[in-house]
Amino acid sequence: MVKFGTLNFVLDKYSGTWCWMVTGPRAVSMVSKLIPRAWYGDAPDQAIVSDTDSNLKQLSWIAERYPLEILSKNVWNRKILPFKIKKQRIPNIEKLKKVNPGKQFRGKLLNFQKEGLDFLVKSSGNALLADEMGLGKTVQTLAYLASEKKSLPALVIAPLVTLTNWDSEIKKFMKKKSLNGKIIDKASPTTTMIRTGRSQELDKKYDFYIINYELLHKRFNDLSNLPLRSIICDEVQHLRSKTTQKYSAVKKLAALKSIQHRVGLSGTPIYNRGSEIWPIVDILKPGLLGSFKEFCEYFCYVNEKGKAIVLENKRTSLGNELRKHVMLRRKKQDVLKELKDKVRYKEVIDCDIKYYTSELSKIWEKLEEEQKYAETAFEKSSSYRRAIESERQAAGVAKLPHVINFVNNIMEIEESVVVFCHHKAIHKLLHEKLAEFNPASIIGGQSDKLRDNEIKRFQAGQTKLLIAGLRAGNVGINLANAKYVIFAELDWSPAIHRQAEDRLHRIGQKNTVFAYYLVGAGTLDDHVADILVNKSYEIDAIMDVTSETYENKEKAKLILAQIHDKLSTK
């Protein structure tokens, strides 16, 4: 029989979405009759069909009756055949019950936390607990470990700044269980924090082993020799890249025969783009989303920078798959009716444009010089990154006097205030200029003891001002006694800002939280803010059932091109 035509899954250059391309005069003629909204490709014997359920039914009807050659077989099979899930216990999230924790748990759970415990039980502890920040994911996880008969020893993998918090929470919420199964009320499980990368045999006597992500690959062999039964990955977004050493180490540890429970915790598992969820799910429930290639073929398109972006018309369906099979996601307004709102303000403030433009000239001159003598692609890329970082710091310094005025005005109402910044130089200047308020400080490189003392000083009301680094103070701390948060600088990731806001907006907060984003007039802050909006749109559509219906249609220009444009028009 003469070949009827071909069917291929392609990225349509006109619509910018993945579509089905039908080739062959007979096949195109058939499509034109069955699918009136198809359009011609680059040639008369090509037809482009949008990737919708109704169109797939028509294409399937044609493929069943005519010798249509399928070129994208993996994609076709995943779309036409029922979505297959490996046999496993799948929680029915719609019917979660209020379950009481086991006798090894010390303390009380709120009703929604009891439902979270039920979710973990039904998932056999292989799940992503993605409640919004401040809803007690740590407590729910410990309640689960206290309820399972054979959940210990457990390995807790967390950011460095949260290790001591895990140690204290274990002691606070769990009781010791002896070898014969007897619960010892006044004792707590034994814990050890692994703080060195030097390989040495680990004692097998502990109930909990706590380590940060950066040391994981260095101590992989030592950890793999332990009789671990559970792995807890706190702030699991650290595993969003499948090319990193920490992802590789966790993937191998999670595959050990002794491991029965794998729990990921994060209020922001997706940091920048939807495809970051695949490596996380691949650890918690391997195969659920297929291989990365299959996942991308079904859910994503590749943008001009080579990044896999979840298609707009697939974001809701991806979120539904996650919630159906692996993820529990609750928002604060749904489970904490007494919690007040969180209100965001974008405040455009003045800045020293003369200083800023002068710094941009220096940055551009240095960049051109480095690019001229760069011998490798890595050297060129590093040069670009340094230029971008230098611009961000220049913008921070240029608007600093007006940031100081803004903070002073807020401090006049005698309320506790948290100020977040990005660069250590800005952090230092803020401390110097606001020294009259004796501010507490959180910044990278602090010792655990100093960090805890600074947090306690702020929480106790000994100072009403806390200055924190965005990446150092956005996880593992409770700042619910404050209701004002000010962002003196902007980060590229919306998740960073959400985490920082939710240090205040959490259980225990009795007031509305006001978040002020200070944007320097005439700087590239507006460009960064636009990128944050675009990224937030994709993340919200996947993670949450409802999301804002806003989308910026213009693609963000390269930041270095904007720097050059500003210099050329000054």
Residue by residue, DSSP assigns 187-254 as ----EEEE---S--PPPTT-SEEEEEHHHHTTTHHHHHTS---EEEEETGGGG--TTSHHHHHHHHHH
What's the pLDDT score for residue 402?
86
Higher pLDDT, 119 or 314: 119
Counting residues of the chain whose pLDDT is more than 70, the rounded percentage is 85
* Interior angle at CA 284, CA 290 and CA 248, nearest 5: 85
Instruction: Find the largest Cα–Cα distance for the chain.
Output: 87
Q: Which pLDDT band holds residue 56 (cuts at 50, 70, 90)?
A: confident
Residues 539, 87: Cα–Cα separation, whole Å: 29
H-run or E-run covering 469: strand 465-469
What's the pLDDT score for residue 340?
65
Say if strands 300-302 and 5-11 run parallel, antiparallel, or are unpaired.
unpaired
pLDDT in tens, 122-148: 888 899 998 877 788 999 999 999 999
Mean pLDDT over 231-253 rounds to 92
Residue partners of 543: CB distance under 8 A and separation at least 6:
130, 269, 270, 319, 329
What's the pLDDT score for residue 539?
55
Residue partners of 38: CB distance under 8 A and separation at least 6:
22, 31, 32, 47, 48, 49
Q: Can you tell me whether residue 25 is helix, strand or coil?
A: helix
Which CATH architecture does the domain made up of 342-568 adopt?
3-Layer(aba) Sandwich (3.40)
N-to-C CA span, the chain: 69
Q: What are phi and psi of 191, to 5 degrees?
A: -130, 155
**152-166, 411-425, 532-546: least confidently modelled range:** 532-546
Residue 239 reports pLDDT greater than 80:
yes
Residue by residue, DSSP assigns 390-449 as HHHHHHHHHTHHHHHHHHHHHHTTT--EEEEES-HHHHHHHHHHTGGG--EEE-TT--HH
What is the torsional sign of CA 130, 300, 389, 570?
negative
Both structure tokens of 374: 């760069």
Residue 313 reports pLDDT greater than 90:
no
Higher pLDDT, 3 or 438: 438
Both structure tokens of 383: 């040069």
Higher pLDDT, 193 or 17: 193
What's the pLDDT score for residue 544?
59
pLDDT in tens, 168-204: 889 989 999 887 778 888 899 999 999 888 999 999 9
Residues 5, 12: Cα–Cα separation, whole Å: 19
The highest-confidence range among 23-37, 67-81, 149-163, by mean pLDDT, is: 149-163
- Domain spans of the chain? 5-80, 95-335, 342-568
DSSP 165: H
Higher pLDDT, 211 or 507: 211
Both structure tokens of 532: 């944050």
Strand partners, 344: 515
What's the pLDDT score for residue 562?
40
Q: CB atoms < 10 A from the CB of 99, how many?
A: 20
Higher pLDDT, 562 or 302: 302
Residue 546 reports pLDDT greater than 70:
no
Closest CA to 92 of 287, 312, 328: 328
pLDDT in tens, 372-431: 887 787 777 778 778 878 888 888 888 888 888 888 877 776 678 888 888 888 888 888
Residue 491 reports pLDDT greater than 50:
yes
pLDDT in tens, 59-104: 887 887 778 888 888 788 777 764 433 444 444 455 888 889 989 9
Residue by residue, DSSP assigns 306-351 as S-EEE-GGGHHHHHHHHHHHTEE---HHHH-TTSPPEEEEEEEE--
95-335 belongs to which CATH class?
alpha beta
504 exposure class (CB count in 10 Å sphere: 0-12, 13-18, 19+): buried
Residues 77, 62: Cα–Cα separation, whole Å: 15
pTM of the model as a whole: 0.59
What's the pLDDT score for residue 279?
92
Fold match flag (95-335 vs 342-568): yes
Counting residues of the chain whose pLDDT is more than 90, the rounded percentage is 20
Q: Which pLDDT band holds residue 547 (cuts at 50, 70, 90)?
A: very low
Residue 551 reports pLDDT greater than 60:
no
Q: Which pLDDT band holds residue 567 (cuts at 50, 70, 90)?
A: very low
Residue 283 reports pLDDT greater than 90:
yes
What is the torsional sign of CA 5, 11, 16, 17?
positive
User: In Å, what is the CA distance from 75 to each residue of 20, 58, 93?
Assistant: 10, 16, 29
Q: What is the mean pLDDT of the chain?
A: 80
DSSP 136: -
Residue partners of 29: CB distance under 8 A and separation at least 6:
none
Written as one letter, the residue type at 22 is V
Strand partners, 230: 154, 261
What's the pLDDT score for residue 337?
67
Q: What are phi and psi of 211, to 5 degrees?
A: -145, 150
H-run or E-run covering 465: strand 465-469
Is the bond preceding 153 in cis, omega lying within 30 degrees of 0? Answer: yes
pLDDT in tens, 383-395: 877 887 888 888 8
